[in-house]
Amino acid sequence: MFERQGEYIVARTKLTVRRKKTFEASTYQARLRIIRAIVSDGNASALAKHLGIEPKRWANYERGKPMSREVAFIIWEKLDLSPDWVWFGEEGNLTDDWKHHIKQVEAIFAKHRETELAFERVKQRRKKDEQERRQIIQSWSFSADGKPAPSKQK
């Protein structure tokens, strides 16, 4: 789609037949979070400042708003990161350093997601245990003097 020629970023003019690129908002958003993690240690405001854009604008992109060509080219110019990867996840124009950093961050994010899922399972189990405990307590009956009443077995 685009390539660097010396100081300039130019659109490819050679027509080639290849599969249609598809844009998926969720993976686009994930790639923007990866950029933020690599460039500014997760600080969106610092990244926006580095790129020379408003933090709100970057936040909108991370929420799924389309990124303008202008900002895509700023990213390419300042970070040497191809718009093909930012928009579509195509790694053809990525430097080896970017590929390496992206793989590292993806691994960290995957591990974090596994931890979140495990924590969610624990929360669901605790909720179920609490419901069972309440049902057991509600089944108990006490006499007027506070002593346990004989259980009613059927």
87 pLDDT more than 80: yes
Is 9 in a helix, a strand, or coil? strand
Q: What is the pLDDT of residue 142?
A: 76
CA-to-CA distance for 98 and 117, rounded, in angstroms?
Answer: 28
Instruction: Judge contact between 71 and 51, C-beta under 8 A.
Output: yes
What would the two tokens of residue 84 be?
Answer: 């093909």
Q: What is the per-residue pLDDT across 21-51, written as a single tens digit (0 to 9) for each?
A: 677 888 899 999 999 999 999 999 999 999 9
Q: What is the pLDDT of residue 127?
A: 95
Secondary element (H or E) of residue 12: none
13 pLDDT more than 70: no
Residue 41 CA, chain-centre distance (Å), reads 14
Burial of 148 per CB tally in 10 Å (0-12, 13-18, 19+)? exposed
Per-residue pLDDT averaged across 106-128, rounded? 92
